[in-house]
Amino acid sequence: MKFFKVAALAAMVVSGSALAVPFHQYGEDSSLKIYQYGTSNHANALQSDAYHSTTEIKQRGGNHNAETGQGSDNSYIKLTQNGYAQNASIDQWGGSDSGVTVTQNGFHNNATVDQWSSRNSATTVNQDGHFNNATVNQTASSSQVYVTQVGAFNSASASQY
């Protein structure tokens, strides 16, 4: 049954000039959803041994790039890209009860999020404008990082160990 769902979803996300491959998933009760509206969008999503995890990527507009990897228990990644030429790289491995939410509106925003061995952690990045850059590295337990960028040419770097 899971194979059928993945095959059906893979058939739905590859349309027009959007590209949603490779499409990897492994682990119980996991969910991986990619929605692409527009042209020349790219999404690469990986879930492995991700018990009860969710990865959801929504791309509206054109020339967006999304790279996500997740292996954590009870974790989620939610990425929304609206506008033009947004870039996001999100990695979440080795922990449980973690979450990452990235929302990008405008054009040419970049977000890089790495959560490693984190427990009960959360990262939220909101970018509204253009040419903003946010980098988050988090390995600490029970920590939270919130980055909000409004306007243009903003840069933020947050690290918690």
Domain membership of residue 4 (yes or no) is no
Q: Identify any residues that bridge with 107 across adjacent strands, giving them in sequence order.
A: 84, 130
Structural domain boundaries, residue 118: 10-156
Domain membership of residue 118 (yes or no) is yes
Domain membership of residue 161 (yes or no) is no
Domain membership of residue 95 (yes or no) is yes
CB-based contact 35:14 (threshold 8 Å)? no
Q: What is the dihedral of CA 9, 12, 18, 23, to 10 degrees?
A: 20
CB-based contact 45:59 (threshold 8 Å)? no
Kindly state the tokens that stand for 144. Answer: 């939270």
Alpha carbon distance 33, 13 (integer Å): 9
Domains in the chain, number? 1
When pLDDT is averaged across residues 105-114 and rounded to a whole number, the result is 97
pTM for the model stands at: 0.83
pLDDT at 6: 39
Domain membership of residue 111 (yes or no) is yes
Kindly state the tokens that stand for 128. Answer: 């509204």
Domain membership of residue 5 (yes or no) is no
Domain membership of residue 79 (yes or no) is yes
Least reliable range by pLDDT among 23-27, 132-136, 150-154: 23-27
